[in-house]
A and B are shown apart, each in its own frame.
Chain A
Amino acid sequence: MSGQAQQDDIIILQNVNKWFGEFHVLRDINLNVKRQEVVVIIGPSGSGKSTLIRCINRLEEHQSGEIIVDGIPLTHDVRNIEKIRSETGMVFQQFNLFPHLTVMENITLAPIHVRKMKKDEAEKIAMELLERVGIPEQAQKYPGQLSGGQQQRVAIARALAMRPKIMLFDEPTSALDPEMIKEVLDVMQELAESGMTMLVVTHEMGFAKEVADRIVFMDSGEIVEVGTPEHFFTNPQHERTKLFLSQIL
């Protein structure tokens, strides 16, 4: 691998393996993600998609292989783990907003306590982000007072407040009512266009087709096929990919 390639690749996964007890969830995963690239991971449930992106910020520990995020190897070194976590934002299926804090406090919590930012500054950034996701008027409300779509947009703003270089999305629209999916996808699309590196686990094929630079198809813990959306939706190579696409399209 040349020095140039390493510069370009912000996430490098090499021969990553993970087991849950006896169950082999990730089998020899090799995947490089370039800066500003949008990679969408699709596949049947239980195929290890979520586990894969959760390994990247150490919510799950991989057992063998190498993960390098922005030049920082993910090892047992707590300092490396902290650095990687502060460079990656994550958005969850269940939003996971902190219910005891207002929207504003949700967003400013990490900048103030991790980045040691001043409160005024953090709130200014938070307001900008809330405007970016289209709900500045909800700043003083509590998560329980918002709709699912609004909550997920706050969750995106919360992750962005740490100024991450990478955003990980773990099925961000799966828990939403149909009419709210679009408002979240729109925010994600805008984010992708702004040049954010994104790794997205989703079942939204429309989003994958339109926004992804590359699509990764996973099944039974393996990466089966990687390609551009065009390649994927017009000319899939593997039987398993064809089967999966035929089931969902």
Chain B
Amino acid sequence: MQQRAIHPSQERPPFWRDERVLSVISQIVVVGIVVGLLAFFYTNMVSSLREQLGVPIDYGFLKQTAGFDIGESLISYSRSDTYARAFLVGLLNTLQVAVLGIVFATILGIIIGVMRLSTNFLVNRIATAYIEFLRNVPLLVLLIFWAQAVFFKLPRIKEAIILPGPIYLSNRGIAIPWGIPTETWPTYTRILLGGLVLAIIVTIVLRERGKRTGRMPILSLWFLVTLIAVGIIGWFVLPQPPLVLDRPELVGFNTKGGRTLSQQFMALLSGLVIYTAAFIAEVVRAGIQSVSKGQREAATALGLTPFQVLRLVIFPQALRVIIPPLTSQYLNLTKNSSLAIAIGYPDLFAVAGNTILNQTGRAVEVFSLVMGIYLFFSLTTSLFMNIYNRRIRLVER
């Protein structure tokens, strides 16, 4: 208002030359075109499905009986369950591989990335060779090789490879010792839950104290210490241990007891982990190297120990560079898990996009669900990583 008062000569240009009006108009036009096209495709698809094939879009088939078996499942499932349940089985299998894969790939990636920066010739070269080999092989080739050459070539059960534990490696899968809950297990889970609450309280208290003193303790460490301490105390306080270790043993032509992981699962998980770790290693290396040498020097000159230099100066800055590309590696791993179909692991895509689709022929419905679920996983991951990234962003100007 004041501006106009100071420059009375500045008149409003005709609307077709006014950049403010033009930018609004152009946006309306673009949105109109996009919406129009989408609506056209959608109505076209619906009408042709209905008129030519006689199958309107309908998700009702999900309630029908699936009638097929799934190799492995985290929840109880049989062929008399519904398609919806089969969907859920695939979804959980995907989630299992994705979550474990992200955790292990991050750990392995950080180790390889730090090794890559080592001044030790051998360590450095091993890391470089690892990264260069794995980054430059197609993932599908790697997965099939990994499955065919390593996991599917395991000996017959009678000649099973036995690792200390015992762990049995055979063509029946990988049998590992596993805990079996006893009567006190429900109580123990409640103790652990209490421990979790206590750990959160301890973390909050320590963080407040850290803010007051300026010396922030390593919060995640104290969180874990509290939780583990409660876990150990609870274990011994209970009249009976909440878990007994069940060791697998050879019985006839199979292993009994413990828990058996399928070769497909192990092949997919380890393949995704070693592949993604190579990329994460490069992300970590680039992040640490992006912090200028002067930062380390200034911190060292102030008398900070090498560990303090890393924790207080290098890592917080490296993290800013690491987080965005790390997010896309997490998304890649999740999406790449759909290659499970190539080695026979029943993930979401193998179950839904292959079996269910073949049985029902409902391509639009099945794929809209499958893509929607992957999209949901990815967007959720992105959301959390973006929130984290915003919290640690640098302030400039």
Mark A residues whose CB is within 8 Å of B.
Answer: 57, 59, 82, 85-86, 88-90, 92, 94, 96-100, 105, 108-110, 112-114, 116, 118-119, 122-123, 142, 144-145, 155, 158-159, 162
Contacts and interface: CB of A to CB of B under 8 A. Distances in A.
A100 B316 contact: yes
Nearest to A94: B294
A55 B351 CA distance: 66
Contacts of B316: 100
Nearest to B306: A78
B216 to A, nearest CB: 10
Nearest to B311: A113
Is chain B's binding surface mostly helix, strand, loop or mixed? helix
A70 to B, nearest CB: 14
Given A59-B297, A119-B212, A158 B397 contact: no
B303 A114 contact: yes
B295 A122 contact: no
B308 interface: yes
- 10 A-B pairs closest in CB distance: A144-B396, A96-B298, A119-B214, A110-B302, A96-B294, A142-B395, A90-B301, A86-B303, A112-B214, A85-B303
Name the residue in A85, A86, A97, A100 with the highest tally of chain B Cβ atoms < 10 Å from its Cβ.
Answer: A100
Interface string B296-321: 01111111110010001100110010
Nearest to B395: A142
B394 A113 contact: no
B291 to A, nearest CB: 10
A98 B303 contact: no
A99 B394 contact: yes
B20 interface: no
A144 B397 CA distance: 6
Contacts of B305: 82
A159 B297 contact: no
Contacts of A100: 316-317, 320, 392, 394
B396 A110 contact: no
B4 interface: no
Given A82-B303, A122-B214, A158-B302, A113 B308 contact: yes
By CB atoms of chain B within 10 A, which of A57, A59, A96 has the most? A96
A11 B394 CA distance: 39
B214 A108 contact: yes
B214 A98 contact: no
A113 B215 contact: yes
B304 A114 contact: yes
13 contacts: A57-B301, A90-B301, A98-B299, A99-B396, A100-B392, A112-B215, A113-B304, A114-B303, A114-B304, A118-B213, A123-B214, A159-B301, A162-B302
B396 to A, nearest CB: 4
Contacts of B397: 144-145
Given A114-B302, A114-B304, A118-B213, A145 B396 contact: yes
A98 B313 contact: yes
Contacts of B297: 59, 92, 96
Nearest to B293: A96
Given A85-B300, A108-B214, A119-B214, 9 more contacts: A59-B300, A86-B303, A89-B301, A100-B320, A100-B392, A105-B214, A116-B215, A119-B212, A159-B301
B396 A98 contact: no
Nearest to A114: B303
Nearest to B298: A96
A104 to B, nearest CB: 10
B303 A92 contact: no
A116 B304 CA distance: 11
Nearest to A115: B303
Contacts of A86: 303
A235 B33 CA distance: 83
A119 to B, nearest CB: 4
Q: Which of B294, B298, B396, B397 has the most CB of A within 10 A?
A: B298
B392 to A, nearest CB: 8
Contacts of A116: 215
Contact of A144 (B212, B215, B394): B394
Given A94-B294, A98-B298, A162 B394 contact: no
A88 B303 CA distance: 9
B327 to A, nearest CB: 19
Nearest to B214: A119
Interface string B172-216: 000000000000000000000000000000000000000011110
Nearest to B393: A100
A85 B299 CA distance: 10
Which of B300, B303, B395, B397: most chain A CB closer than 10 A?
B303
B300 A142 contact: no
